[in-house]
Amino acid sequence: MPAISAPSSAGQLPSPDGKPTPTFSPDDVTVVFVLGGPGAGKGTQCANLVKEYGFTHLSAGDLLRAEQDRPGSQFGGLIKDCIKNGAIVPMEVTVQLLENAMTETIKNAAATASTPTSGPGGPAAAGKSTKSKAKFLIDGFPRKMDQALMFEEAVCPARFVLFYDCPEAEMERRLLERGKTSGRSDDNAESIRKRFRTFVETSMPVIDHYEAQGRVIKVDATATPAAVYKDTRGKITRFLGDSL
């Protein structure tokens, strides 16, 4: 594959144990990994959380699909083949795209916050900003343990994993229905089943790892989207509390 640099930690010193210092501190940034099999409804639930709580939704799949279509991308062909075959894109590519998106989001938020505005007390002083904690839902990532470890060491430790649990038969039904209109090359029976196998073999160990640390919120995703969101909302509110 073409070479890609590892996620940067520019301007940060190595930690005493020799590991890289993450680009973002969990004191300033809340990261939630959102996992579940293909068709579990992760995107729908993320959209609800964005609307209610102001999270930024980063879909690893969407970032990869955008990169594969970006003119001049050196990774476009590689990403396209991986997605079509239900394989996992090399982690260096995915982690770098996620870090880039987080950096851009935080910079844009800082620029917006520092823009003078008028209020009851008159124009705000130039450069004055209100600092708020950035909150990211990272959808469909990490799909393997090495991705999880690389992201947490180089980019930012995650607060927890939000896991949408759904039977394979129901996920396949949803995806085949979506495939009638989505135009996505991986919404066909053969690709769907490959994606199921990949999820069980590589992503479930990630969930087991975080569950052993008490960092998994599990939600039954078989109900209606509204019922699933009600369950999601209650559980993350109890977990995050004032962080929301």
Question: Domain limits of the chain?
Answer: 29-116+133-238
Write out residues in the chain with pLDDT < 50, as ranges: 1-16, 123-130
CB-based burial label for 137 (10 Å; 0-12, 13-18, 19+):
buried
- d(C-alpha 218, C-alpha 221), whole Å: 9
- Report whether 22 belongs to an annotated binding site: no
Which pLDDT score, from 0 to 100, does residue 241 have?
86
Which pLDDT score, from 0 to 100, does residue 14 have?
44
- d(C-alpha 1, C-alpha 96), whole Å: 15
- Report whether 87 belongs to an annotated binding site: yes
- Report whether 143 belongs to an annotated binding site: yes
Nearest to 42 by CA among 162, 181, 186: 162
With tokens 């938020």, the residue in question is 109
With tokens 């109890």, the residue in question is 238
Multiple choice CATH, 29-116+133-238, 3.40.120.10, 3.40.640.10, 3.30.420.40, 3.40.50.300: 3.40.50.300
- Report whether 19 belongs to an annotated binding site: no
- Report whether 151 belongs to an annotated binding site: no
Which pLDDT score, from 0 to 100, does residue 221 have?
96
- Report whether 138 belongs to an annotated binding site: no
Nearest to 178 by CA among 72, 15, 38: 38
Which pLDDT score, from 0 to 100, does residue 235 have?
96
- Report whether 195 belongs to an annotated binding site: yes
- Report whether 39 belongs to an annotated binding site: yes
- Report whether 41 belongs to an annotated binding site: yes
- Report whether 193 belongs to an annotated binding site: no
Tens of pLDDT, residue by residue over 141-166, are: 998 999 999 999 999 999 999 999 99
- Report whether 184 belongs to an annotated binding site: yes
- Report whether 178 belongs to an annotated binding site: yes
Cα separation values, 70 from 62, 65, 105, 202, Å: 12, 9, 19, 28
- d(C-alpha 30, C-alpha 153), whole Å: 15
- Report whether 40 belongs to an annotated binding site: yes
- Report whether 233 belongs to an annotated binding site: no
- d(C-alpha 207, C-alpha 66), whole Å: 27
Alpha helices (runs of H) in the chain, residue ranges in sequence order: 42-53, 60-69, 76-84, 91-113, 145-154, 168-182, 189-198, 204-212, 225-240
- Report whether 173 belongs to an annotated binding site: no
Nearest-Å Rg of the Cα atoms of the chain is 19
Strand order in the sheet with 216-220: 56-59, 134-139, 29-36, 160-165, 216-220
- Report whether 72 belongs to an annotated binding site: no
Residue type, 46: C
SS3 15: coil
> Could you tell me if residue 102 is left (phi over 0), alpha (psi between -120 and 50 degrees) or otherwise beta?
alpha
Residue type, 17: D
